[in-house]
Chains A and B, each alone.
Chain A
Amino acid sequence: MQQSNGEKIFQVFLLVFITGLSIVMIYPFLHVLSISLSTPAEALRPGVHFFPREISFFAWERVLSTESVWRALGVTAFRTIVGTILTLILLSMAAYPLSRKYLPHRGFYTMIIVITMFFGGGLIPTYLLIKSLGLINSIWVYVIPGLFSTFSLLILRNFFMGIPVELEDSAKIDGANDIRILFTIIVPLSMPVLATLALWSAVGHWNAWFDALMYMQDKTKITVQLLLRRLVITNVGDPMMPVPTAEQAPETVKAAIIMFTALPILIVYPFLQRFFVKGIIVGSLKG
């Protein structure tokens, strides 16, 4: 294909722009990774760190040999996996009827669900609710309150609405009930949007810490992000703590734990990415 000079210049410009953008996004990771693999002295040196100048695995050994890190990671993994799966099941079961035009009072139901997008109880009522539900200190406090996302529901509903009713009709003639239709016809046809919603939910779960702060008194069940926050915010210059009850984490250890908590979710991204754009666009435009 012939390209005019203008187009070529534009292409070059695009390439430079995208490269620059990538560097801006990748560099912080490289920097932190490089610090985490450096000796403590090397980590103190100023300037740009792409590669550790003196390699040391001290920080990673520290992080990987710490029991509380693994335990918190387990909690976060639990909430991410269980929370995401349950969210998808629940959303599908809610979105499917709402996407069918023959559901009586469909507009009314949709409206009461949408209203929750605009009004929230606020922190204290939410706390009281969670407390009276008996969720304080339960690991399910990470999963149940956030199980249902109205925004995701609307996206999913819109996607389902794009699936022709005729597909259902044939299944119904063959004797399939609604649940069967949902799980054997509708859901398999909606993988792009489900993958997108799964990614949103999973990333949200992975990064969540505030619920652990508010609702979890049992410190053995805190999430990895709360643990991370605790280690990283520790003040460098807290002068003269009486008894060394908590050792200050060196910069390299902080960097190592930051990488350690970011890696798993980073690894998930590329696998789901191909669904990503299609999922959002299709889900939001049709309807």
Chain B
Amino acid sequence: MKHGKRKWMTLVAMILAMVLIVSACGGVNNEVTNNVVVPTKSETKTEEPIKEVEETIEIVWANNFNAPEEDGNYVQTEIEKRFNVKITNVKLERWGWKEQFSVFLASDEIPDIFPIDANEADMAVWAEQKIIANVDRAEIATYMPNYTAALNAVDPDAWNVGHINGKDWGIPKIWPPGNDGFIPGYNKGWLEAIGYSKPPETLVELEDVLTKFTNGDPDKDGKKDTYGMSARGKLPIQMFTSVFTAHAVSPYQFKLDNEGKVVYGAITEETRTALKLLSKWYKAGLIDPEFITKDNKQLSEDFANQRIGMVDNAGWGNFNPLSGYVTGPALELGQVNTPGKPLIGPNGDSYAFAYGARQAPVLLGYQVADDDKKRQKIYEILDWVSTDLEGWLLTVAGQLGVSYDMEGDFVVGRKDESVAAPKLGYGSFYNPLTHIDVTKQKHTVSPEMLKLRESIMPGVKPLLDVLGPVAMKSKNSYWGNLITLQDTYLIKAITGEANTDNDFDKFKEDWLRSGGQEVTDEANQIYNERNK
């Protein structure tokens, strides 16, 4: 018996020792943790009313762009000093941030400033769940005068995105480069080989070019191993945009029909006509049959390796020789990607598919609504970083002479890892509104890029969604299925598995019956409300 007792003592002693070790680790780390852990909603709420005007305000700042490595980095410190605030960083990954963020929200760790990539659907859900604060336009105009002026100069209707249930949720955010549409690019050597001195201008010319690209052995290797074009099947919204926009439609955008009603692009006659043409081209072998599984990486490689002669989902910036998409890799292998113009369709339409400048607003945590001082402070900071040259340069480029230099107006970043964005904290982390003030573009677009832009973009009309990003109740219920239905039909119609006559009618009917009608009705309702 005595023996057994001793054994038990040993066991208990061991367990106690383990508990001690574990709790010791925890204890040490608590100190570290307390500086970083996000104060929860309840903590913020129970704060005493601020007695002195100059008391330091604590702001919990979450973002999934350019997360700084260290707390207390250069940019953070500069903002803290200037505004007498204490910033707590919530650093999220660029990809996969939502998984992280959902756990934080569910654990009642709601930041004051939300990540850039939160979209309009998130916003609607969070507004309903009382996670985000609604804002007052007049107050924003008071505390963010420069921002308001800059926004109104570009898009005064950007408020529409964050307007649900009669309230405004967040500070409007726009990204003007989103208005620059996709420009088709062609292999210059191939064009010359088939007798074209310049890129095709109309769909009819394009058909001729693609035919010769496919059958005319443009790479001169004596083998029939080329295709006219391919497409980004992995992201169907970017598939064959040059052909669809020549018919004045994107199957994934809402547009106005002849009667001024909002209608979804996929079920319009324009889409049917474009699909007829694409399926004809596919049948004639002009389109890479593997387009369904292609993503940008493969498109880039296919173009560089002379498998395809045209890529139509690149922005003007991708035509610069250093671009990692198509142009750069092509140059490595001696091929030149030359930009064309959006093609002119059968009715004389010519557009560049564009996502549009509007984005979901910068959202603020629920607790900010009850804390006037904090809210106003946040407005002041955001006004400063988005429009004041000093604040903007600080948050976008870091420290002059350390992480960047000025060449005239142009900001040249230093290529030194020790002063890179994650070290100093610049980029977009402390500035979710980098692009609001378009007068700042001269600092980020180099003279060469400006020249490139001037050579490509004049006269290009973007094709935009008539609603832009918008939170719709009916979308929550039906959109996932509708998109699958649409993706499947579009690809089948192009590859000839489905026809563009009866099958298109059937697809249209299915789409409307599976919730498309509700979505269309709501879209019209929103459109009419906005344009009263």
Could you tell me which A residues sit within 8 Å of B by CB distance? 40-41, 44-46, 66-68, 90, 93, 97, 123-124, 127-128, 131, 133-138, 140, 144, 177-179, 213-214, 217-220, 226, 229-230, 233-237, 239-240, 242-248, 250
Q: Does B33 contact A (CB under 8 A)?
A: yes
Q: Is the CB of B91 within 8 A of A236?
A: no
Tell me the complex Cα distance, A21–B32, Å: 49
Alpha-carbon separation in the docked complex, A218 to B397 (Å): 22
Supply 17 A–B pairs (Cβ within 8 Å), ascending by A.
A40-B332, A46-B307, A67-B417, A135-B33, A136-B37, A137-B36, A137-B37, A144-B22, A219-B69, A219-B91, A220-B69, A236-B295, A240-B177, A245-B420, A245-B426, A245-B427, A247-B415
B305 touches A44 (CB 8 A): yes
Q: Measured between C-beta atoms, what is the minimum distance from A63 to chain B in Å? A: 12
Interface residues of B in 67-112 (CB under 8 A from A): 67-71, 89-91, 93-96, 99-100, 103, 106-107
Query: Per-residue CB proximity of B304-338 to A under 8 Å, as 1/0?
Result: 11010000011111100000110001001100000
Q: Cα distance A140–B337 when bound, in Å? A: 51
Residues of A near B444 (CB, < 8 A) are 242-243
A residues in contact with B267, CB < 8 Å: none
Docked CA distance A220–B37 (Å): 16
Query: C-beta contact mask, B263-300 vs A, less than 8 Å → 1, else 0?
Result: 00000000000000000000000000000000111001
Q: Please determine whether B33 and A137 come into contact, CB atoms closer than 8 angstroms.
A: yes
The CB with the most chain A CB atoms within 10 A, among B18, B26, B315, is that of: B26
Residues of A within 8 A of B26 (CB): 133-135
Query: Per-position contact with A for B167-188: 1 when CB-CB < 8 Å, else 0?
Result: 0000000000100100000000
With contacts A239-B317, A245-B413 known, is A219 near B25, CB below 8 A? no
Q: Name B's A-contacting residues (CB within 8 A).
A: 6-7, 10-11, 14, 18, 22, 25-30, 32-33, 36-37, 66-71, 89-91, 93-96, 99-100, 103, 106-107, 177, 180, 295-297, 300-301, 304-305, 307, 313-318, 324-325, 329, 332-333, 396-397, 411, 413, 415, 417-418, 420-422, 426-428, 434-435, 444
* Residue among A44, A133, A179 having the largest count of chain B Cβ atoms under 10 Å: A44
Count, A-B residue pairs, CB within 8 A: 146
Chain B residues with CB under 8 Å of A46's CB are: 301, 305, 307
- Residue in contact with B10 in the complex, picked from A44, A123, A138, A177, CB distance below 8 Å: A177
Minimum C-beta distance from A254 to chain B (A) = 11
Question: How far does the alpha carbon of A235 sit from the alpha carbon of B411 in the complex, in Å?
Answer: 24
Contact assessment for A138 and B297 in the assembled complex, using a CB-CB cutoff below 8 Å:
no
| Distance of A177 from chain B, by nearest CB (Å) | 7
Are the CB atoms of A124 and B33 closer together than 8 Å?
A: no
A45 to B334, CA, bound (A): 12
When A and B form their complex, which 10 residue pairs have the shortest distance between CB atoms, in order from nearest? A237-B296, A138-B29, A240-B317, A41-B332, A134-B30, A239-B315, A245-B421, A219-B69, A245-B427, A134-B26
Whether A239 touches B396, Cβ cut-off 8 Å, given contacts A127-B107, A144-B25, is: no
Contact A218 B304 (CB under 8 A): no
Check if B70 sits within 8 Å of A137, measured CB to CB.
Answer: no
| Distance A240 CA – B37 CA, assembled complex (angstroms) | 34
- Cβ contacts under 8 Å, A242 to chain B: 177, 396, 434-435, 444
Residues A213 and B305 in contact in the complex (CB < 8 Å), given A124-B107, A243-B411: no
